[in-house]
Amino acid sequence: MEVLEKELLQASVGKVLRNEPLANHTTMKIGGPADLLVEPSSLDNLKKTMAIITANGAKWRAIGRGSNLLVSDKGIEGVVVKLGNGIDHLEVDGEKVLVGGGYSLIKLATVLSKQGLSGLEFAGGIPGSVGGAVYMNAGAHGSDMSSILERALILFEDGRLEWLTNEKLEFSYRHSILQTKRPGVCVEAELHLKAGVRDEIVSSMQKNKDYRRETQPWNYPCAGSIFRNPLPDYAGNLIEKAGLKGYSVGGAQISNQHANFIVNTGQATAADVLNLIEHVKTTIREKFGVNMQTEVEIVGR
């Protein structure tokens, strides 16, 4: 790592931190250290970063705003590439939007609604980055990213960058090809929205944002929805019917406000959260015969 760190610093790619606690970079405030954390200061510097990582044969993974992520207490081996400041550009040309993967999804929904562009109202209360939203086809209120995305610039495991169309991303419920068949990270997205009545769009987005604020526990560190909805049922409904609201393991607790959220009440560890997830899975399987699948991404050593 010392050689790699030195090369990255010499190339002035951006922020380079050794043994950086990932609890500082996740919304759940949980996670051990990354051997190296790099936050490239531009798309060009991201390309340089990946070239250096690839040349050194180092392990790596990318993160955004850390909102759908549970990182192991032992951290992540190799390099964590954070897509944030520098990969958060925004260009609006009529109904076409080109946005960096590190751009805040909530901020994007707010900015575009004020410009009278419709299509992202559903995202008004979804934390995280544009790149993460494309990766998992984030959605709410009957819509998702697949409904507005034209194409995305993807960073693949071998360091290559390639544009993939909506069709090639093979979107489905909370899923894209980037999670399975072609692991990769969205670093830039081209969206197509529709011009509409500004006040109506802003009002609709605000209602969605208010609903999430009223029904979800964002006053505690959390990672968003923990389980995928076992359609046609809902994860939160099953967990609540099982009597698990408020159930805790260590510092991790099933929210009393929304049962599909696990909150960090203060000193929760990743082990606490994982044990709580397993307890929920076992309980729901025994009571209802349903196999629960996690929506949150679990990574690290």
- CATH number for the domain spanning 18: value is 3.30.43.10
Parallel, antiparallel or unpaired: strands 76-82 and 96-100:
unpaired
Least Cα distance to 266 among 247, 250, 246 occurs for 250
| Domain boundary, last residue among 26, 47, 82 | 82
pLDDT mean over 20-31: 96
220 in a structural domain: no
Same domain, 55 and 18: yes
What pLDDT does residue 179 have? 87
Least confident window among 38-42, 134-138, 177-181: 177-181
Q: Quick one: 260 and 167 in the same domain?
A: no
Is pLDDT at 218 greater than 80 in this prediction?
no
Question: Does residue 99 sit in the same domain as residue 176?
Answer: yes
pLDDT at res. 71? 97
**pLDDT higher than threshold 90 for residue 111:** yes
Residues marked active site are found at 174, 225, 295
Can you say how many angstroms the Cα of residue 35 is from the centroid of all Cα atoms in its chain?
A: 21
Q: 26 and 55 share a domain? A: yes
- Average model confidence (pLDDT) for the chain? 93
Say yes or no to pLDDT of 52 above 80: yes
DSSP result, 45-113: HHHHHHHHHHHTT--EEEESS-TTEEE-TT-EEEEEEE--TTS--EEEETTEEEEETTSBHHHHHHHHH
Identify the band that residue 34 occupies on the pLDDT scale cut at 50, 70 and 90.
Answer: very high
221 domain residue, yes or no: no
Residue 128 belongs to domain spanning:
90-215
Give Cα 142 distance to the centre of its chain: 19
**Per-residue pLDDT tens digits for 147-198:** 999 999 998 878 789 999 999 999 998 889 998 888 888 999 999 999 999 9
Same domain, 211 and 99: yes
Same domain, yes or no: 100 and 197: yes
Residue 229 lies in a domain: no
| pTM to 2 decimal places | 0.86
On whether residue 225 sits in a domain, the answer given is no
User: How confident is the model at residue 206, as a pLDDT?
Assistant: 86
Reported as a pLDDT band with limits 50, 70 and 90, residue 128 is confident
pLDDT at position 168: 97
The per-residue pLDDT for 83 is: 92
pLDDT in tens, 267-278: 999 999 999 999
